[in-house]
Chain A
Amino acid sequence: MKTIPDKDILLFKSCLVNVEYPGVESSACYIFDKVGVEYYVDKRQSCCTGLGHYYDLFDQLSTTALAARNFHIAAKTNHKNIVTLCATCYAILKKTVKILNYNEDARNKVNTILDESGLPEMEYTQDDMDPSKNIFHIAEILFNKRDEISKYITVDLSEFKIATHHACHYCKVHYNDTIEGVREPNLMDGIVNAMGIDTIGWYDHKRVTCGAGFRQRFTNKEISLAVTSEKLEVLEDKNVEILLHMCPNCQMQFDRYQPYIEKKLGKKFNIFHLNITQYIALAMGADPYSVLGIQTHTVPIEPLLKRLKQKYDLKEDNRLKTLKSV
């Protein structure tokens, strides 16, 4: 069993969390503050190149050089345990650490690039980072703290039928480092169970990808959404009401496109999409707008909140009304 840290954490900003579901980051901070996880966010940290990497736009050397810069920031600020909010960053960062450690030639090239860029202090020395001991996904930290989390639950969410969508880039890329199952992933189920709530556990398609497929969502929309629809249909058959996510990219694929798919298929999926951090924060009593950020969701979360005993000041039809509209 790998050791999972609860301090010296660099909470790695994610480009998709930033602009699609920023509430994932604020929920993460909310939970960390409650259960006493020590973390830090650095405004100099760049994106990992993830999407560009899988669009095949970025070459491996450039991605690795940018990672070395982020590793330097982590080390310099004494927050060497990088915790990602996005599954793609998790896999990309792990891979770049591995390359920097085993491939001397690549390491030298990266160091030359950094030197030529006037950043010699950022040079990477072999084993500066450990791919298994310094790179984590937030779901692992939450799993490790599940008993602590369970002590802070104030809102009863037990009436919903819940399923989990474990991000491929967490489970299937560096599978030797994956905890709680690769072919039968149960990492998020384990967190929810510790909160005293059942999930549906295994279902057909549990390990199937969201269908985003990076370029596919844009260049091959029909096949991309066909994969997404199949998974939604399986979940609908099981009467699932909440699908939990651990990656903003999968969350986007399901949340942004569910209404579109409904229109195409002429049927309704009554499935809410929440990130595991948003789900836990909600159970801990966090505000849906100022912490969870449900105003950025496409499938409205308000109908879910209405069913709770807890009363919220809902801004249903004017979620963005106080703000500008175009």
Chain B
Amino acid sequence: MKTIKLDKNPLKLVKDVLNDLKASPDLGIYKCVQCGMCASICPGASQTEYDPRDMIRRVLENDETIIDDETIWDCFSCYTCNSICPSGNNASEVNQILRQMSIEKGEGAQKIKDFCAYGDSFMEMGIGSIPNEFFNVMVKDVGNKYMDLKVNIEDIRTDLGLGNYILPKESTDEIEAILDNSGFKVRLEKIKRCKK
């Protein structure tokens, strides 16, 4: 027998999603008809257990366990779902908002901890860069020529008539100040401190 649970605030999760800064004003989550078009073309769904249609259903049903569901981390942020949805919904955007909720709660922070070096490099140079561990894997996969390229990039750029890509000190100071006042610096430190 099915038990009916009365929820005091049955639309809390969907409202939180819609109120997020990331949510486009025309995000059509309420209009979702559960047609499954998104899931049918989703690379995340074809390769993993992740299912964008089901993710949307759970948000609409106020099932907050979706925030801690590992599968949301298997989305490719390719927006194919967005381009195909007949109802003007955007599963990609909803996914990104759920991930932010997960990061806020703490669990999600572990998922992105390894990417922190990108943030450090951004504050230092005004440009992000591939974190070392990942870069080393790339060198292994792509070959030593990839390393040679990185070592010689300045000279190659000079040959191409391009200038220095690292921002002037004045600009990196501005960027650091902005990221300090926007709360990003604190956010980054918090993510670094989270336990795996």
Contacts and interface: CB of A to CB of B under 8 A. Distances in A.
A117 B181 contact: yes
B141 A326 contact: no
Given A19-B150, A298-B142, A215 B43 contact: no
Interface in B43-99: 43-44, 46-48, 73-80, 82-84, 96, 99
A183 to B, nearest CB: 6
Q: Say whether chain B's binding surface is mostly helix, strand, loop, or mixed.
A: helix
Nearest to A168: B78
A81 B183 CA distance: 29
B178 A59 contact: no
Given A57-B119, A256-B138, A320-B148, A183 B78 contact: no
Contacts, number: 232
Contacts of A45: 167
A213 B25 CA distance: 25
A114 B178 contact: yes
A304 interface: no
Contacts of A267: none
A69 interface: yes
Interface string A113-151: 110111100000000000000000000000000000000
B84 A183 contact: yes
B83 to A, nearest CB: 4
Interface residues of A, number: 86
Interface in B173-192: 174-175, 177-184, 187-188, 191
Contacts of A103: 21
Given A56-B112, A256-B146, A168 B79 contact: yes
Contact of A293 (B118, B156, B175): B156
Contact of A260 (B130, B142, B161, B180): B142
How big is the B interface, by class?
A: 35 or more
Contact of A214 (B77, B156, B171): B77
Nearest to A106: B21
A116 B80 contact: no
Interface string A210-240: 0111111011110110110000000000000
B43 A208 contact: yes
Contacts of A173: 79, 82
A315 to B, nearest CB: 11
B145 interface: yes
Given A62-B183, A99-B21, A257 B76 contact: no
B125 to A, nearest CB: 9
A59 B24 contact: no
A99 B21 CA distance: 8
Given A119-B177, A213-B78, A298-B145, A56 B103 contact: yes
Interface in A95-110: 95, 98-99, 102-103, 106
Given A61-B182, A62-B183, A320 B149 contact: yes
Nearest to A19: B153
A5 interface: no
Nearest to A171: B83
B152 interface: yes
Contact of A26 (B83, B99, B103, B160): B160
Contact of A13 (B99, B143, B165, B178): B165
Interface string B153-174: 1011101111111011011001
Nearest to A227: B43
Given A66-B175, A117-B181, A57 B191 contact: yes
Contacts of A326: 144, 147-148, 151
A320 B149 CA distance: 8
Contacts of B181: 65, 112-113, 116-117
24 contacts: A22-B153, A26-B161, A44-B168, A45-B167, A51-B118, A52-B115, A56-B99, A59-B182, A61-B182, A65-B179, A117-B181, A175-B82, A209-B80, A218-B130, A223-B47, A223-B48, A224-B76, A227-B46, A257-B141, A259-B142, A323-B151, A323-B156, A324-B148, A326-B144
